[in-house]
Structure 1
Amino acid sequence: MTTTSIGAASAAAGTTTGRLRGLVAEIRAAVDRGLPPEPTARLVGERLAPHLGAPDLLTPAQCEGDPEHYRQHVLHAEPDGGFSVVAIVWLPGQGTPVHDHVAWCVAGVHQGEEHERRYQLVPDGTSARLLATQDVVNGPGEVAAFAPPGDIHSVRNAGDRTALSLHVYGADITRLGTSVRRLYRLPADR
C-alpha cells in the first residue's frame, strides 16, 4: 500500500538503548556548538553515520512498521527544544508527499533503501512550480543533511522489504506535532 500522508509522530518509544543514549549525547554536543543550521546538520550527520546499522541501536518495538502508513517512533526530544531524534519505518511502497521542514534535518538509513526526489521551487509568472533536481537512493549507512530553504523533497520505500531510517530534526517535534513546514501540491517538472 502506498501512502502520501505525513504521519503524526508516535509517543516516545519506551526503552532507550545504551547506544542511542550515546548518540543523543553526541548530537547534543554538536548542537550545543551554536553553529548555523547547515554546518550543524553536517556535524550531526557525521555523528549519526557510525551508529547506522548497529544491531544495538534500537529496540524491536522501535523497528515496528504500520501497514497503513510509514511509522514514526520519537526516540528523543531535547528538553530545551533543540532537537528531536525519530526512527521512521517504511514498509514497501510507503512514502511522503513533497514537503519541506521547519528546521535543519538529518536522515540516515539504518536498513533498506530510501528513494528521495529533491526539488527546487521555481517562480512561474504569478505562481510557482516545482523542478525535480535530483533523484537519490540512500542505502544503509548513508546520511543526507538539509537546512531550509532548499530542503524540498519526497521520500519513499521503492524496495520490496522494510526500510528504517533515523531522522534528527533541529526542533522538538513532540511540541510541534510534525517536522513538516509545508506540503507542496504544485505542478512538478523533471
Structure 2
Amino acid sequence: MTTSTASGAVAARTTERIEALVAGVREVVRRGLPPESTAHLVAELLAPLLGRAGLLTAEQCEGDPERYRQHVLHSEPDGSFSLVALVWLPGQSTSVHDHVSWCVTGVHEGQEHERRYRLLTDGRTSWLARAGDVVNGVGEVAAFAPPGDIHRVRNGGPGKAISLHVYGADVARLGSSIRRVYQVPEGER
C-alpha cells in the first residue's frame, strides 16, 4: 500500500505491521498527553515489532554508501507524527544533535551506538558534557522528549543497522527531526 505525505508526495509502500503501528500511534497522539508520556506509550507499541520479518519492505532496508539513509514510512496528514526507517551502513553516524519534538527509536536490525550529552551552562557560556554511552541492540527502544535529548548515533558494528523512529513532527515536510546541531566536545574530535 502507498500513502500520501502531508506535502502531497507519495511515501513508500508499507506493510500491514507498519499500518497497524501507525493506527496505534495515531490513537496515542490523539490523547493529547504530555510529550514524555506520549513517547513512552509509543515505545510500548513499537518494541514488539522490532526484529520481526515482514516489518519493512526490501526497498525500505536499502542503505546509501555516502551517509545514513532515511526512508519516510508515514507522515500523519495533520503533521502530528511521522514514522521513518533509518538505515546505517558500518561507520555511518549523525552529528551531535537534539530534536524538534518527542521521539521514539527502536533497533530493528544490527546495533546502534549512542553517545548522550548534557548541556551545561555557567550563565554566560554553554558546553556539552558526556552523559553516557549506550549500545542498543535488536528490540531495544528509547523514548525521549526535549530538553535533554542531545545525542550522537552511529553504526559501530560490522554490518548494516536499521532503526525505526517515531517523531511528534512532520519529518516529510521538515526534512529531518534535528532541531540543533552541536560541535563535538573538544576531547572527542
User: Is the structural similarity TM-score above 0.5?
Assistant: yes
Q: Which residue of 2 aligns with 1:7?
A: none
Q: Which residue of 1 aligns with 2:5?
A: none
Q: Which residue of 1 aligns with 2:4?
A: none
TM-fit CA distance, 1:13? 4.5
Q: For residues 62 and 153 of structure 1, what CA distance do their matches in structure 2 show?
A: 24
Q: Within 5 Å, give how 1:144-155 maps onto structure 2.
A: 144-155=142-153
Q: Which residue of 2 aligns with 1:123?
A: 121
Q: Within 5 Å, give how 1:70-85 maps onto structure 2.
A: 70-85=68-83
Question: Residues 96 and 184 of structure 2 are in contact (CA less than 8 Å); yes or no, is this contact kept in structure 1?
Answer: no
TM-fit CA distance, 1:183? 0.1
Q: 1:91 aligns with which of 74, 89, 101?
A: 89
Tell me the matched-pair count.
Answer: 180
Question: Residues 12 and 72 of structure 2 are in contact (CA less than 8 Å); yes or no, is this contact kept in structure 1?
Answer: no
The unaligned stretches of length 5 or more in structure 2 are 1-8
Please, what is the CA RMSD of the aligned residues? Answer: 1.5
Amino acid at match of 1:122: L
Q: For residues 25 and 174 of structure 1, what CA distance do their matches in structure 2 show?
A: 18
Q: Find out whether 1:167 has 2:165 as its counterpart.
A: yes
Q: For residues 180 and 12 of structure 1, what CA distance do their matches in structure 2 show?
A: 22
- Structure 2 CA distance for partners of 1:97 and 1:12, relative to 1, 3 Å: farther
Q: For residues 156 and 138 of structure 2, what CA distance do their matches in structure 1 show?
A: 14
Percent of pairs identical after alignment? 66
Q: For residues 12 and 91 of structure 2, what CA distance do their matches in structure 1 show?
A: 27
Q: Find out whether 1:59 has 2:57 as its counterpart.
A: yes
Amino acid at match of 1:136: V
Q: For residues 188 and 105 of structure 1, what CA distance do their matches in structure 2 show?
A: 27
TM-fit CA distance, 1:187? 3.0
Question: Residues 12 and 75 of structure 1 are in contact (CA less than 8 Å); yes or no, is this contact kept in structure 2?
Answer: no
Q: For residues 91 and 120 of structure 1, what CA distance do their matches in structure 2 show?
A: 27
What SS is found at the alignment partner of 2:46?
Answer: helix
Q: For residues 53 and 150 of structure 2, what CA distance do their matches in structure 1 show?
A: 31
TM-fit CA distance, 1:14? 2.0
Q: Structure 2-normalised TM-score?
A: 0.91
Question: Residues 132 and 188 of structure 1 are in contact (CA less than 8 Å); yes or no, is this contact kept in structure 2?
Answer: no
Q: For residues 145 and 122 of structure 2, what CA distance do their matches in structure 1 show?
A: 24
Q: For residues 92 and 17 of structure 1, what CA distance do their matches in structure 2 show?
A: 26
Q: For residues 153 and 188 of structure 1, what CA distance do their matches in structure 2 show?
A: 15
Task: Please list the CA deviations of residues 74-108 of structure 1 after superposition, one character each: whole Å capped at 9, or x if unmatched.
Answer: 00000011100000000000001100000000000
Question: Residues 91 and 156 of structure 2 are in contact (CA less than 8 Å); yes or no, is this contact kept in structure 1?
Answer: yes
Q: Structure 1-normalised TM-score?
A: 0.91
